[in-house]
Structure 1
Amino acid sequence: MPFSFKHRPQEAVTTQTPTPFSPAPSTHPAPRRDVYLDFAAATPMAPEAVAAMLPYLSERFQNPSAPYAAARAVGADLEDARARLAHVLGARPANVTLTAGATEANNLAIAAVSGQVLVAATEHQSVLEAAAARDHATIPVGPDGRVDPADVARAIGPATELVSVSLANGEVGAIQPIRKIAAVVAAERARRLAGREGRPILLHTDASQAAGYCSVNVSSLGADLVTVSAAKVYGPKQVGLLYAADGVRLRPLVRGGGQEGGVRSGTQNVAGVMAFACALELAERLRPRECRRLATLRDALQARLVREFPWCVVAGPRKAANRLPGLLHVSFPGLEARRLVILLEREGVSVGTGSACAASKMRVSHVLSAMGVPERVAAGSLRITLGRPTTEGDVDYAADAICRVVRAEAARMGLGEVRDA
């Protein structure tokens, strides 16, 4: 059955401490239902975004660069959508370059400089791979997945021109101290200017996983380059943007007709951009309420699993303000995550094991490795991410299913009652 926002009752939002779920699943499990809990990998399009998109797939199909009236009208709509996206960012439309998703935007950001690039060890592969093709160095993270701004200051060298740290990690939910990192970069920039050094230094943050849960206002972030993806805010896939501050010169990766100010050639995906603008505006409008609601559901699920399995390991920051509200990364040492995912799918529950890109290649999470998580623990990791359609009933059903599957697997592996994480 297609995923739908319709007929999914939303429970009342509360800021009180969540009440734990029932202590154990019933001997008569609830009727099977389909519960999707992998919103960090992909979000379904919001109905409003679909509606905004449809006219540009049919009667308003014209190329926005063409000279006649109908095409000029489509071009005007495209620029209006760009202005709406810029408004959410607190930026000017001229500073927003439309891209085919976050991966392209990240590559475009890395290509903006010619000197050394510093990247956090837990960055998305699109940042790590782009940086690996040039002079680069890695910034370590702590056991909670967060970057210490002091480590950024120590890592900056004479050749450093770009620091790239995501606003929030999509695997363990760690929200990075971007404002403090921006202050470090600004201090180095001021030092270079005072010393009449000509080498620039910029800060890039990939805000793809954070948008809709954290402010992406570029002034408050203090970043020179910001990536946002439509696919993570209930918009279409393969649509994104890169904000670049005044004075930052982007270098084109795709050459051709000169669209996007010559930075990103190719006919713009007008339908996708219209949906993106609608989706990002909606995500920002719902952000306060959704953050409270999802944190309540996530905390209740975490409390249930920790109570049922005291030996499980929850990764990421302990402080709520430092973790994405709808994300729970939990490991069951001694068990195999891929098998847990398959068994949960049979129960109707879809969860991830980490970054969807890494999971598809069946490799150990570089994020957990960077955090110092032992391989035995990392191998049994599930990433559970809640989203706008998620209800308390969904979480309750998923909790029962996870408990059944983990108990069965622990028994099959002969782990017994004593487990050492």
Structure 2
Amino acid sequence: MVGIHVAALIVFVILVGVDTSQPSGTPGRFSAAAGWFLAGIFLAPLLTIGAIIWSMILRRRAKTTAPPSRAWNSVQADQPARAELPRVAPTHSEKPLGPRVDADRSNRTSYATRAEARAAAAANKAGANGMVARGAGPTPPPSAPREALPTSNRGSYMLLGSDKYKSTEVEGEFARTSEIAAVVKTLTGRALRLDHEVEIPDVPAVLRTEPENRYHRRAIMVVVEGSHVGYLARDDADRYHAAISRVERAGYVPTTRARLWAVQRRGWDEVKKLHARVSLALNEPHLLHPINEPPSVSYSLLPWGNAVQVTGEENHLEAISPHVNPGSESIAIGTLHRVETTSARGIVKHTVEVRIDGRAVGSLTATTSPHFLPTIEHLERDGLVAATWVKVKGSAIAAQVTVQAARAPELPPEWFAGPTTIPSLS
């Protein structure tokens, strides 16, 4: 563009210098243009240099005043809170875990990891410049790395529902890529390869409250194989904090099952980047542990099984009402006892009575009792009581009780190795 302007200027100078008073073809016609022509030759380089300098100044001003791009804003600005959908246990088996559309999750970080990244960047910049923003005070240093989980004095506590569908999403994996890569290598025995997806469908995961987190006092971190791989979302952390804290106060480590997916791919800048997704199996907060304490007598807990309806609850509302969660359901630990009943014809039958904290809450029918009588008799010979999971739903004036226990033919071989118990949280 500058060259075109200069060329036009030279032509204009030559035309202006032509002596139009002389007839065409006479030698003096262009004599007056000689001086203008020489002036144009000397002025052209000066004008060209000036135009180049002015163009550079305009470009620099445009760069300094241009607003940041939308892509930059989408990474820097916090996303609005997502509405939590109700979790419904699927009726089908779990499908292989695949990548999200937003597999890098760079614009869906957790509250803590995003804030930590900004705080660390601000601290580094302030240290390099030897100054901090006016009126803002010194920037707090970034959190120390959290890699190892403190050992508990009692061991792990497997939360109820850890064998359910893994539908609770973990956030902030993008900021823990090195830890996730180490976990994958530990569990699979080999490092991640480029464009090779790795899925670990079932692995223990520890939930740990983090009261020292300066961005959210109810933060809950997720630890797999001793490595911090992410956080529960802020809304989930608020809902689960009380239940998780209760387990920790009792001296146990809250544990559930997780599913992990990871892949390493090249980005637009040809740099290798790890994409990961972690999901957890979590019941609703009030269903993570039983509402009552385990039996005080020697017992063995039956594995979780299909629901079996208890009858006669209306006759035991006084014993059931302390375990009712109004508007929802609750899980308690009950015991199964063999009782004898005599029919009107004098026939003696053995049925199963269900008790919670030593008080009867109902009985199984003559049809369903035989499914559990062999188990009760087997444990009685060993001096043990058959304990079971009991689900209670209703109100103080009407209640529904179901037994969630495996029937005698469904008991796995490992259950017979020794008594199965559950820790007390008192």
The structure with the greater share of residues assigned to strand is 2
The structure whose Rg is larger is 2
TM-score by length of 2: 0.24
User: Bigger relative contact order, structure 1 or 2, given CA contacts below 8 A and separation 6+?
Assistant: 1
The structure with the greater share of residues assigned to helix is 1
